[in-house]
């Protein structure tokens, strides 16, 4: 009898112990270097683990993230907190029921008020919320300020001003536009994004994304023709295919090139390379190349989304972690730890006081402020990686090189793009889209 009692008490102790143990939540991270990973662990993960005793988050750095994630999910495994590389990736998981709806948590934590509605709508499918926007991105014109001042140039606002600088730069043996895709083929789509938005214009792109205008319509043919002209006339770096994006930015830093079109992430390389060359840099909105495009216009890209996996055993804990991650004091501490990484803030309705820091590069702060303002007022353009279906995006990236090499005519290229887009729409791969007015 005594033995039975002892065993009963012992099992109770074990049960109590097991229930008192914090439940583990897994989180996979990609595209961080070791320092960033360590900082993230210290500020975000450890911060959450210390803030409560019910859950412990364990973060892992994963290479080839998208592939690993798909393989894990197809085996019923994978991380509890599920990062995707943007709404076009999230839609595949939400469509297949691999992430859970977050609407109840959104009400509980007030996420629908915390985030800008239009950016939250990008993570909705059939009116259900499946993810939170991790950070936003946009495209800018980066230029060598020292070189511009020396030549009496000011950042161009329209096609004429742009052409004048390009012609003068060419005459002086300066590469007008630095670019390189040796380490990242996706560089090609940055330039496609630029001409589609700043030549064809956001309204036309929206018509294209909603199926009201085919991608081989004359306005898009003209836009891609413009990009092809730049290529054929040698405006881009001569060794585009041999240069990495960092090496391309170094051409701007050394004055070998005058400017480049790149995203918010380029601030990191701009800061590093210009500190070595001792010259000054700045950024400006991308010029409007036709009357169909407004100025200034900032493309919206959601660089990542956060969701909760269908296989997560503790979704309440995962939601608590997501809420912790998006508290201003947490993401500001994380952003301050990497002041020149070029990472913009989550697209939220945060006060200026909450998101201002003297530790951040003022040029990054200005980018944040201007892009956020455009998102709030709905004056946005569209990045190919956030609004196009993934297969169409890949085709655009790969086949544009055939246009540049003369193997493919612009009209044929856009016909291929349009055919693939229609197929992707049919297959339900089109991510949600926001109208230029800011509505879904």
Partner 1 sequence: MPARPAGSEAGSEVAPGVAWPASERRRDLSGWFYVGPSLLINCLFLLFPVFATLWMSLTSWNGLESPQWVGAANFLELFASQPFWGAAVNNAKWTVIFLTVPIALALLVAAALLRVRRLGFLQTLFLVPYILPTVVQARVWQGMILNPETGLFGWLGKHGINIPDPLISTTFSLYGIAIVNLWAWWGFLTVIFFAAFRQIDRSLLEAAQVEGAGFWQQLIHIQIPLIKPTVLFMLIMTFVWSFLVFDYVYVLTDGGPAGSSEVLSTLAFRYGFERFEFGKAAAISACAGLLGMFAISFYLWLQKKGFER
Question: Which residue in 38, 71, 232, 349 binds partner 1 (CB under 8 A)?
Answer: 71
Which CB, 334 or 413, lies closer to partner 1? 413
CA-based max dimension of the chain: 99
Question: Which residue in 70, 376, 409, 415 binds partner 1 (CB under 8 A)?
Answer: 70
Shortest reach from residue 215's CB to partner 1, in Å: 18
Query: How many other β-carbons are positioned within 10 Å of the β-carbon of residue 276?
Result: 10
Interaction of residue 239 with partner 1, rule CB under 8 A:
yes
Question: Which residue in 135, 269, 323, 390 binds partner 1 (CB under 8 A)?
Answer: 390
Stretch that binds partner 1, among 64-72, 79-87, 116-124, 286-294 (CB under 8 A): 64-72
Give CA–CA dist 54/293, Å, rounded: 52
- Determine the distance from the C-alpha atom of residue 142 to the mean position of all C-alpha atoms in its chain, rounded to a whole number: 18
Alpha-carbon distances, residue 426 vs 151, 386, 433 (angstroms): 52, 18, 16
Whether residue 340 contacts residue 271, with contact meaning beta carbons closer than 8 Å, is answered with yes
Interaction of residue 232 with partner 1, rule CB under 8 A:
no
Give CA–CA dist 120/422, Å, rounded: 25
Shortest reach from residue 419's CB to partner 1, in Å: 12
Give CA–CA dist 366/286, Å, rounded: 15
| Beta-bridge mates of residue 28 | 60
Give CA–CA dist 191/184, Å, rounded: 13
Whether residue 273 contacts residue 246, with contact meaning beta carbons closer than 8 Å, is answered with yes
Which CB, 303 or 389, lies closer to partner 1? 389
Question: Which residue in 157, 376, 402, 415 binds partner 1 (CB under 8 A)?
Answer: 402
Give CA–CA dist 335/339, Å, rounded: 6
Interaction of residue 385 with partner 1, rule CB under 8 A:
no
Q: H-type helices in 111-158, by residue range?
A: 111-114, 117-121, 145-151
Stretch that binds partner 1, among 116-124, 333-341, 366-374, 400-408 (CB under 8 A): 400-408
Which CB, 74 or 349, lies closer to partner 1? 74
Give CA–CA dist 368/387, Å, rounded: 20
Q: From residue 246 to residue 285, what is the string marking binding to partner 1 with x (rule CB under 8 A)?
A: -x--------------------------------------
Question: Which residue in 108, 128, 185, 313 binds partner 1 (CB under 8 A)?
Answer: 185
Shortest reach from residue 130's CB to partner 1, in Å: 14
Beta strands in 145-290, from DSSP E residues, in sequence order: 175-177, 257-263, 281-284
Q: From residue 85 to residue 124, what is the string marking binding to partner 1 with x (rule CB under 8 A)?
A: -------xx--x-x--------------------------
Interaction of residue 415 with partner 1, rule CB under 8 A:
no
Shortest reach from residue 322's CB to partner 1, in Å: 22
Which CB, 73 or 266, lies closer to partner 1? 73
Q: What is the 3-state composition of the chain as percent helix, strand, coil, each rounded to the nearest 5?
A: 50, 15, 30
Tokens 């994304």, residue located: 209
Q: Which parts of this chain interact with partner 1 (CB under 8 A)?
A: 64, 66-67, 70-71, 73-74, 92-93, 96, 98, 182, 185, 238-243, 247, 390-391, 394, 398, 401-402, 404-405, 407
């Amino acid at each position: 009898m005594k033995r039975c009692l002892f065993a009963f008490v012992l099992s109770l102790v074990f049960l109590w112990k097991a229930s008192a143990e914090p439940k583990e939540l897994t989180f996979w991270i990609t595209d961080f270097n070791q320092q960033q990973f360590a900082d993230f662990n210290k500020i975000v993960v450890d911060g959450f683990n210390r803030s409560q005793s019910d859950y412990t988050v364990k973060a892992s750095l994963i290479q080839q993230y998208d592939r690993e994630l798909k393989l894990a999910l197809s085996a019923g495994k994978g991380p509890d907190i599920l990062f995707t590389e943007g709404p076009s990736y999230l839609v595949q998981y939400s469509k297949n029921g691999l992430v859970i709806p977050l609407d109840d948590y959104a009400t509980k934590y007030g996420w629908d008020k915390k985030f800008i509605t239009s950016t939250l709508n990008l993570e909705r499918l059939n009116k259900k919320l499946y993810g939170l926007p991790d950070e936003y991105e946009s495209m800018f014109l980066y230029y060598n300020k020292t070189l511009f001042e020396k030549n009496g140039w000011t950042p161009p606002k329209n096609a004429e001003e742009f052409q004048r600088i390009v012609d003068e730069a060419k005459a002086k043996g300066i590469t007008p536009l630095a670019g390189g895709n040796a380490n990242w083929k996706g560089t090609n789509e940055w330039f496609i994004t630029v001409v589609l938005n700043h030549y064809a214009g956001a309204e036309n792109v929206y018509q294209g994304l909603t199926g009201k205008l085919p991608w081989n319509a004359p306005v898009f043919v003209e836009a891609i023709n413009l990009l092809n002209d730049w290529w054929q006339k040698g405006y881009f770096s001569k060794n585009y295919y041999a240069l990495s994006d960092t090496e391309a930015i170094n051409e701007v830093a050394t004055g070998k090139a005058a400017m480049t079109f790149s995203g918010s992430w380029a601030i990191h390389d701009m800061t590093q390379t210009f500190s070595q060359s001792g010259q000054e840099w700045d950024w400006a909105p991308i010029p409007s190349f036709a009357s169909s495009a407004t100025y200034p216009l900032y493309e919206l890209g959601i660089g990542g989304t956060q969701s909760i996996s269908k296989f997560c055993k503790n979704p309440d804990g995962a939601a608590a972690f997501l809420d912790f991650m998006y508290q201003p004091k947490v993401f500001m501490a994380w952003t301050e730890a990497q002041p020149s990484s070029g990472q913009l803030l989550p697209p939220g309705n945060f006060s200026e006081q909450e998101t201002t820091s003297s530790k951040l590069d003022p040029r990054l702060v200005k980018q944040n402020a201007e892009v956020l303002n455009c998102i709030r007022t709905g004056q946005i353009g569209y990045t190919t990686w956030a609004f196009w279906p993934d297969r169409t995006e890949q085709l655009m990236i790969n086949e544009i090189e055939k246009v540049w090499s003369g193997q493919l005519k612009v009209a044929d290229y856009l016909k291929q793009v349009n055919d693939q887009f229609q197929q992707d729409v049919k297959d339900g791969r089109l991510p949600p889209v926001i109208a230029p007015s800011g509505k879904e």
